[in-house]
Amino acid sequence: MSSPPPPPTTAAALRSWPQFADLSSLSLPISFSDTTHRLAQNLRYFLPNYAVLTLSIFLLTLLTRPLSLILFLCIFSAYIYLISSRDEPLTLFGYDVDQNVILGFVAVMSLVALFWTGAWSRLFVAMISGAVIAVVHGVLRAPEDSMEDSPYGSLLNVVDDSPRGGYASV
């Protein structure tokens, strides 16, 4: 009897950066329906990349405040260790700590750090910048499976071996 595979970690869901920044896959959408389809597909596929990009922008805005930067780096490393990288439950004083309690603790520590350092405006700038980057990238990048899930189906499918021309019949 085999055990179930371990759940994927956040690092496993992160897509490769060359794939994320591939300029050959950028093109303008042909309609509003294609725009919304691309945005939904790319947000679903590249969400961890967008989150890392937004976090990087936030950390870059903290470069002028080294104490805040060190504090948030400690909190983010605690988040990665306590939430993402552990396979076994956390045990304190002989008791197993629930994952939701750990997540709540890290969230409260993040809010306390935001209040204590006054980094709200920097977080706001990072969130807005990350959202703009995600929307622009999501709209301009054509998903790999665009023909199967496209709102136009196979109408835009190019057929190479057709004697009548380069496009499939409608």
Percent over 90 (pLDDT), the chain: 20
Q: Predicted confidence band at 160 (pLDDT cuts at 50, 70, 90)?
A: very low
The tokens describing 86, both together, are 């552990």
At 11 the three-state DSSP class reads: helix
Task: Work out the burial of residue 135: count CB atoms within 10 Å of its CB; fewer than 13 is exposed, 13-18 middle, 19 or more buried.
Answer: middle
CA angle, 77 then 82 then 83, to 5° = 100
pLDDT surpassing 80 at residue 136: yes
pLDDT per position as a tens digit, 80-104: 888 777 777 777 888 888 888 888 9
- Cβ contacts of residue 128 below 8 Å, gap of 6+? none
What type of residue sits at position 49?
N
CA angle, 116 then 121 then 123, to 5° = 85
The domain ranges of the chain are 26-149
Task: Work out the burial of residue 133: count CB atoms within 10 Å of its CB; fewer than 13 is exposed, 13-18 middle, 19 or more buried.
Answer: middle
The tokens describing 60, both together, are 């870059």
Most confident of 12-16, 41-45, 140-144: 41-45
The rounded radius of gyration (Å) of the Cα atoms in the chain is 22
